[in-house]
Chain A
Amino acid sequence: AQSVTQLGSHVSVSEGALVLLRCNYSSSVPPYLFWYVQYPNQGLQLLLKYTTGATLVKGINGFEAEFKKSETSFHLTKPSAHMSDAAEYFCAVSDRLSQGGSEKLVFGKGTKLTVNP
């Protein structure tokens, strides 16, 4: 079964600093990979996704993530943090269509990002 590990349940950065949120997946076949953001008491919003092709994926709000097959990783970065980036971030995976299997998304436990002024 697919699983996702997010290293660091809490990350704190200063405004303007680099944001790096880590995600590793466990699958011999690279799954589809997603990053979602969740603001307090709200649902999940898709930041970006990797399906195929270019391994550096750009998303909304200046975020990007790089798929590294050799490291089974899909870390999320943003060059300069903004106060409005404070939220919880979830990495998720799903089996590729070609694999069949379940259609569900499997989420990591999340990383809460705090941005200090």
Chain B
Amino acid sequence: DTGVSQDPRHKITKRGQNVTFRCDPISEHNRLYWYRQTLGQGPEFLTYFQNEAQLEKSRLLSDRFSAERPKGSFSTLEIQRTEQGDSAMYLCASSQGQARLSWYFGPGTRLTVT
């Protein structure tokens, strides 16, 4: 068990470009969550998956954002036509079962849009 991993750790992109982040959860975890954290704020929920099904999406997730978890294992978060306001830390977490008692967070991907 190597924990939740995210790739890349840092991404600098120019406004208008598309970016994609990857999250690999703990292997037996069936739930995967994406959060966004801007400077000076707590993490804000974006979306979550149970296996490959996307069960909830925040209103923060505009139509420029899309997340997938095609085989119920790793997940990708894509941002199209990036804006400077997208600059943030994107955190992934995973959990197992419905206990709602344990979430394990990855190290995050820091996105800077110039």
What is the CB-to-nearest-CB distance from A49 to chain B, in angstroms, rounded to a whole number? 7
How many residues on chain B are close to A (CB under 8 Å)? 25
Inter-chain CA distance A59–B93, complex, in Å, is 20
Q: Are A96 and B101 neighbours in the complex by a CB distance under 8 Å?
A: no
Q: Are A107 and B43 neighbours in the complex by a CB distance under 8 Å?
A: yes
A44-B100 in contact given A103-B48, A103-B56, A104-B56 (Cβ < 8 Å):
no
Q: Which of B65-114 contact A (CB under 8 A)?
A: 91, 93, 98-103, 105-108, 110
What is the CB-to-nearest-CB distance from A82 to chain B, in angstroms, rounded to a whole number? 23
What is the CB-to-nearest-CB distance from A7 to chain B, in angstroms, rounded to a whole number? 14
| B44 proximity list for chain A (CB < 8 A) | 107
Inter-chain CA distance A108–B43, complex, in Å, is 8
Q: Which of A32, A42, A96, A105 contacts B108 (CB 8 A)?
A: A42
Q: Which of B31, B33, B42, B98 contacts A109 (CB 8 A)?
A: B42
Q: Are A32 and B105 neighbours in the complex by a CB distance under 8 Å?
A: no
Q: Are A44 and B110 neighbours in the complex by a CB distance under 8 Å?
A: no
What is the CB-to-nearest-CB distance from A98 to chain B, in angstroms, rounded to a whole number? 10
Q: Are B106 and A43 neighbours in the complex by a CB distance under 8 Å?
A: yes
What is the CB-to-nearest-CB distance from A50 to chain B, in angstroms, rounded to a whole number? 10
From A101, which residue of chain B is reached at the shortest CB distance? B100
| B2 proximity list for chain A (CB < 8 A) | none
Q: Which of A40-71 contact B (CB under 8 A)?
A: 41-46, 49, 51
Inter-chain CA distance A46–B43, complex, in Å, is 14
Q: Which of A90-117 contact B (CB under 8 A)?
A: 90, 92, 94-97, 102-110
What is the CB-to-nearest-CB distance from A34 to chain B, in angstroms, rounded to a whole number? 8
A44-B41 in contact given A32-B100, A97-B98, A103-B56 (Cβ < 8 Å):
no
From A111, which residue of chain B is reached at the shortest CB distance? B42
The 6 lowest CB-CB distance pairs between A and B, nearest first, are: A107-B42, A43-B105, A44-B105, A104-B45, A43-B107, A109-B42
13 A-B residue contacts at CB 8 Å?
A32-B101, A43-B4, A43-B106, A44-B105, A90-B43, A95-B100, A97-B99, A97-B100, A103-B100, A104-B48, A105-B33, A109-B40, A110-B41
Q: Which residues of A contact B (CB under 8 A)?
A: 4, 9, 32, 36, 41-46, 49, 51, 90, 92, 94-97, 102-110
